A and B are shown apart, each in its own frame.
Chain A
């Protein structure tokens, strides 16, 4: 046995080096499994908690078309949560365990969802910036070394690009609207810009997980690389909106062929991570409440399923007619 362990690890690393996906039944280092469970569950929770700030505007969407698009989008996020909880289950962690970790605040989710959605323009800014930032991360993850995670990401990315476009379209419409709408648009960009940059996580020099994750090809780009890519993309797109990004240091650097940008308020970032963001409490409470109030429903479904095992029946009446 003692001889096998390094062999296992060599085979594992070799597989990663030659770009063969790791599958659920393959041997993997415990730390690899743990890192994945942490990352995938965090990602799943972000999808589920992320339904709340946008769900907040479903009832008030300003046109039937926007309402339909927004409902479909938030529903997609629930679906993404499902794929990701399933990916977690392939690593031996049940959905129940994963969800309990969220409710006990042991597991994290993306801090961006601890910011409030105050106006309709926030639906645009969240789509354009938040989904935009998420996509860069997710496109990278389509090539992540763990098979089920990579495959979930391929499906998710297809839908996310639609999310980002609908967000941009909301802002574009506002940017061509009345003076008040233009103001609403710029205000939302001002509030969401910096938190979106924070979504990529701490600077590479401060990131504890990056090195190992790169070696295992869980991640393929560093936080700072992805952040730069995002800034370069948005700095161009914001011109189409005739709006500005709220950063006086933002400018094109001909030498690096990238946009330079200002210093992020890392204090704010760490505060929100620690639970002091404007909506941390409300988001978690909303999730716990849904879960607690749904308990009797889950119990009823389980009790009914148990009874059916012993007395199978075919449905009649309206159900059969349908």
Chain B
């Protein structure tokens, strides 16, 4: 589905590795959040919302597949150019999703946080969608043709995710005493994972100069502003002086990810070399 005229062949030599890692990071973010959200399918609080969260899960999974397919293409081309680099079989979207372990995953810690109650799931989605919205909005004008195309297509979905999750944050914040309490707790639980979204990993830094990756720092202000406005309608306050947890982008995760992967990868690990 992707044309082969990628930036790998005409960029600096260190670019391919960074581009592969960046693409995997974008893929992992969306896959892990899709996996988490999909656990609501059949268990949502209202049938219509069960459908909505499942739909978001499906959108994110679709984005993940696009990123993984591109990453696989880059890896395979890279290998063809430097045979001694990586032996082994051809990379595919599934080898990347199912056969990499914890330390190789590059998703932000926010996406792997437990679902908790509906408030926590909603807030996680809102914080992430707001980020993704600003990220894809820039990425769609980046220098890498494929990332640009994926971002442009995904942006339409993300706009809906952001709208839906914003409405729910407001509804819960300004609903009942209990819902306000629950969404406030979610803010406290999830806020430590916010900062990581905006701190560039080395592979991001390497691509920013070429305008391939989006500089996290450049969208932080807009993100905070958008979040504050929704929080103010929801009568929530933005926590101050929270110690930030980070490391996910570099493969240092919370313990939670190990369980997510164990479950997700079970069949591929238990029955290797099978076609499904």
Residues of A bordering B, CB below 8 Å: 48, 51-52, 55, 58-68, 71-72, 74-75, 78-79, 81-82, 85, 120, 170, 173-174, 176-178, 180-181, 286, 289-290, 293-301, 303-304, 307, 313, 315-319, 321-322
1/0 per residue, CB under 8 A from A, across B237-276: the answer is: 0000000000000000000000000011011100101111
* Beta-carbon contact of A317 and B228 below 8 Å: yes
* Beta-carbon contact of B163 and A317 below 8 Å: no
* Beta-carbon contact of A59 and B35 below 8 Å: yes
Closest to A319 in B: B166
* Beta-carbon contact of A71 and B45 below 8 Å: no
Partner of A303, one of B44, B50, B167, B176: B176
* Contact A75 to B65, CB < 8 A, known contacts A304-B174, A318-B230: no
* Beta-carbon contact of A60 and B263 below 8 Å: yes
Partner of B61, one of A60, A67, A120: A67
* Beta-carbon contact of A62 and B62 below 8 Å: no
Majority SS of interface residues in chain A?
helix
Roughly how many angstroms separate A13 CA and B255 CA in the complex, as a whole number?
Answer: 66
B42 at interface, CB cutoff 8 A: yes
* Beta-carbon contact of B55 and A68 below 8 Å: no
A-B contact pairs, 16 of them (CB 8 A): A55-B41, A55-B42, A62-B274, A63-B268, A64-B65, A65-B65, A71-B54, A74-B41, A74-B42, A75-B55, A85-B47, A173-B276, A293-B45, A315-B233, A317-B225, A321-B133
Residues of B within 8 A of A295 (CB): 45
Residues of B bordering A, CB below 8 Å: 31, 35, 38-39, 41-51, 54-55, 57-58, 61-62, 64-65, 68, 93-94, 97-98, 117-118, 130, 133, 159, 162-163, 166-167, 170-172, 174-176, 178-179, 182, 225-230, 232-233, 263-264, 266-268, 271, 273-276
The smallest C-beta distance from B30 to any residue of chain A, in angstroms, reads 11
- Closest 6 A/B residue pairs (Cβ): A317-B229, A294-B45, A300-B175, A318-B226, A300-B179, A51-B42
* Beta-carbon contact of A64 and B166 below 8 Å: no
Partner of B41, one of A58, A180, A304: A58
* Beta-carbon contact of B45 and A290 below 8 Å: yes
The smallest C-beta distance from A144 to any residue of chain B, in angstroms, reads 23
* Beta-carbon contact of B171 and A300 below 8 Å: yes
Partner of A318, one of B62, B117, B229: B229
* Beta-carbon contact of A307 and B276 below 8 Å: no
Residues of B within 8 A of A180 (CB): 271, 274
Closest to A65 in B: B65
* Contact A72 to B167, CB < 8 A, known contacts A48-B47, A52-B42, A178-B274: no
* Contact A78 to B133, CB < 8 A, known contacts A290-B44, A293-B45, A294-B118: no
The smallest C-beta distance from B35 to any residue of chain A, in angstroms, reads 6
Residues of A within 8 A of B167 (CB): 315, 319
Residues of A within 8 A of B171 (CB): 300-301, 304
Roughly how many angstroms separate A63 CA and B266 CA in the complex, as a whole number?
Answer: 11
The smallest C-beta distance from A122 to any residue of chain B, in angstroms, reads 12
Roughly how many angstroms separate A322 CA and B129 CA in the complex, as a whole number?
Answer: 10
Closest to A44 in B: B47
Closest to A291 in B: B45
Residues of B within 8 A of A298 (CB): 45-46
Closest to A294 in B: B45
The smallest C-beta distance from A227 to any residue of chain B, in angstroms, reads 28
* Contact A78 to B51, CB < 8 A, known contacts A173-B276, A319-B167: yes
* Beta-carbon contact of A318 and B166 below 8 Å: yes
Roughly how many angstroms separate A170 CA and B267 CA in the complex, as a whole number?
Answer: 14
Beyond known contacts A307-B174, A316-B230, A319-B166: 7 more, CB 8 A cutoff: A177-B276, A303-B175, A315-B233, A316-B233, A317-B225, A319-B170, A321-B133
The CB with the most chain B CB atoms within 10 A, among A48, A65, A317, is that of A317
Roughly how many angstroms separate A190 CA and B219 CA in the complex, as a whole number?
Answer: 56
Closest to B137 in A: A321
* Beta-carbon contact of A315 and B276 below 8 Å: no
* Beta-carbon contact of A318 and B44 below 8 Å: no
* Contact A60 to B264, CB < 8 A, known contacts A71-B57, A120-B276, A319-B230: yes
